[in-house]
Amino acid sequence: MSKAAVPLRILCIHGYRQNGSSFREKTGALRKLLKKQVEMVYISAPHQVPAVQNETNQMSSGGDEDQRGWWFSDVQARSFNAQQECESSLGLEESIETVKTAVKELGPFDGILGFSQGATLVAMLCALQEQKLEADFNFRFAILVAGFRSVCSQHRRFYEGTVITIPSLHVFGQDDHVIPEEMSRDLLPAFDGAQILIHPGGHFVPAASLHRQTYKDFLKKFE
């Protein structure tokens, strides 16, 4: 850590149907694991996700009252599916602006962490930074948990031409049925020298004691 022992500040980007508050709760174990090393700051996506109807035709919030998303793959239904191929998406530009505002008002940040749809957004933000298209982004590292390569045609620009050189740690579960391991692996070629942390679990941010050293070793390079 620096001479003043200032923790690394990380901007945290939640997954689909989460928000900043719920993601903060879900990453409590990670915050505890890294509390001496990092300060994690959480923001919410600008788009509210419509509640889903359950079998009894009741509107279900899935546990979180305020469900948010960074973009929708189905423009008409305002829904998102990581495996849904689409020509265009809805809401991505507003989400990029939301992150830019957070950087200006809550920053500076050393790094950025994203989960699931949020991790895919992080990859896009890193691409914009690499292409020098967004002067507001100056992240020194990125942690992507259950990330994937967007299959929306409109998003190809983030993966073509420029290899992302921002140091990155890619975390994915071997038993993840939401974003299968191969989808996360498909994102790796977009990053130069990507580091990997594989865990045996499912769709969550792993923070067991056996993962501590991998996170700490990665973060130590930026202290």
Q: Give pLDDT tens digits for 153-187.
A: 999 989 887 899 999 999 999 999 999 999 999 99
137 within some domain: yes
Q: Catalytic one among 44, 95, 176, 184?
A: 176
2 within some domain: no
In terms of pTM, does the model score above 0.85? yes
**In total, how many domains does the chain have?**
1
Name the nearest CA neighbour of 101 among 17, 45, 174, 170. Answer: 45
3 within some domain: no
216 within some domain: yes
Q: State CA 161 to chain mean position distance.
A: 22
The whole-number pLDDT of residue 5 equals 64
Across the chain, mean pLDDT equals 89
Q: Catalytic one among 22, 44, 73, 116?
A: 116
206 within some domain: yes
Query: Does a cis peptide bond (omega within 30 degrees of 0) precede residue 108?
Result: yes
Q: Which domain holds residue 192?
A: 14-220
Q: Give pLDDT tens digits for 109-162.
A: 999 999 999 999 999 999 999 988 777 899 999 999 999 999 999 999 898 878
Please report, rounded to a whole number, the percentage of residues in the chain having pLDDT higher than 70.
Answer: 92
Assign residue 112 the CATH number of its domain.
3.40.50.1820
Residue 171 exposure: Cα atoms within 13 Å on the Cβ side: 26
8 within some domain: no
Does the annotation mark 170 as catalytic? no
1 within some domain: no
Q: Give pLDDT tens digits for 13-51.
A: 999 999 999 999 999 999 999 988 999 999 999 999 987
114 within some domain: yes
Does the annotation mark 176 as catalytic? yes
Task: Specify the pairing of strand 141-145 against strand 111-115.
Answer: parallel
